[in-house]
Amino acid sequence: MNAGTGDSVRVAVVGATGYAGAGCVALLQAHPTAQLVAVASQTQAGRSHAQVFPGSSCDLVLAETIEAEDCDVVITASAAGEAARQAGGWLAQGAVVIDVSADFRLRSADEFAHWYGVAHPAPELLDGAVLALPELRPKAIAAAQLLSLPGCFSTAVLLACGPAASRGLVEPEAVVDGKTGVSGAGRSALADYLFTELNESVKPYAVGGHRHQPEMEQVLGDLQGEPFAVTFVPHLVPMTRGIQVSCYLRPGPGVTLEQLRDAYREQYRDQPFVRLAETPIPSKQTSHTNLCWVSLAQQGRHFVVSAVLDNLGRGASSQAIQVLNLRFGLDPRAGLEGAAQWP
């Protein structure tokens, strides 16, 4: 498809009944240029999307698999490993693949196996995959056929730390405290996610290492030009959606807070979905949007960079649409101008 011709971009969504996939379906239905042409679910095939997902108005019938001959894009939001097993076929059929899962985030198949406990189903595709960060790596997206979204925590941390790392303003290490709502665990019914287990409680998890940590180190190392160490501890908090991260960074020699602020103003000046705040913003202010709010401060000898976003929006479905817009030369705001839902 040629950008700017006025033709619609034909999109299929695989894994369309999970939170991230259903979010993509809803956004595509309201998109002025993209056309949702197919939806798929391995567990709900044969029923319409509206019958399966609460609040959906999509009457397309869910297929078990997608054939991509009549698609320009396949957005896949399946369980780990599923996108990798099918992406080669979709690419061979000429479709662009945008993967919301973790299958193509890490460059190393060995590292994928270490963090996800299974061998990578398609290691031959890893070299051609682009980790899609619209505000930090836009040129890499424009010509890519296989695009991988960073994880929800990774998106927040990379937007919070990326400008500092890319300009060498900080030492190549960060300590990150993260909080997430329970929807980040998906539509599973495990005891840990019951109301009685979560309410009035905060729980750290993956203290020995979280799957998003190697993504953070990989990208920040690329931006900094040297290995970048991240110590990351996430916490589950009793809210439905949202992510907050506080990133503690050591300034480089002589670097001031005002220099840091200037760098972030420059990096995000023309970016509609990253906003700078004087003081930290509550996560609810990003609810159901593609926004990420970033604030900068200093405490003693550390810079403190805070970021908030919606884990299901900017951390998944709306970021997939943002990447689609950039890949096909569309208005970057297309389909993504909804206001935050407050309270």
Residues taking part in catalysis: 152
Compute how many other C-beta atoms are within 10 angstroms of the C-beta atom of residue 217: 19
The rounded distance, in Å, linking the Cα atoms of 72 and 82 is 20
Helix axes 152-166, 213-224, angle to 10 degrees: 20
Look at residues 204, 210, 182 and name the one whose alpha carbon lies nearest to residue 194. Answer: 182
Please give the single-letter amino acid code of residue 11. Answer: V
**Is the omega angle on the peptide bond into residue 163 within 30 degrees of 0, that is, cis?**
no
Residue-wise burial string across 291-327, b where 16 or more C-beta atoms lie within 10 A, e elsewhere: bbbbbbbeeeebbbbbbbbbbbbbbbbbbbbbbbbbb
C-alpha to C-alpha distance for 216 and 92, rounded to whole angstroms:
30
By DSSP bridging, strand 73-76 and strand 96-99 are parallel
Q: Report the alpha-carbon distance of residue 328 to residue 2 in Å, rounded.
A: 8
Q: Is-contact 4 329, C-beta < 8 A?
A: yes
Going by C-alpha positions, the residue among 224, 214, 92, 112 that lies closest to residue 153 is 214
135-144 own/partner pairs: CB under 8 Å, 24+ apart = 135/159, 135/162, 135/267, 135/268, 135/271, 135/273, 135/274, 136/162, 136/166, 136/219, 136/223, 136/267, 138/326, 141/323, 141/326, 141/327, 142/326, 142/327, 142/329, 144/96, 144/327
Token look-up 């990578």 returns 120
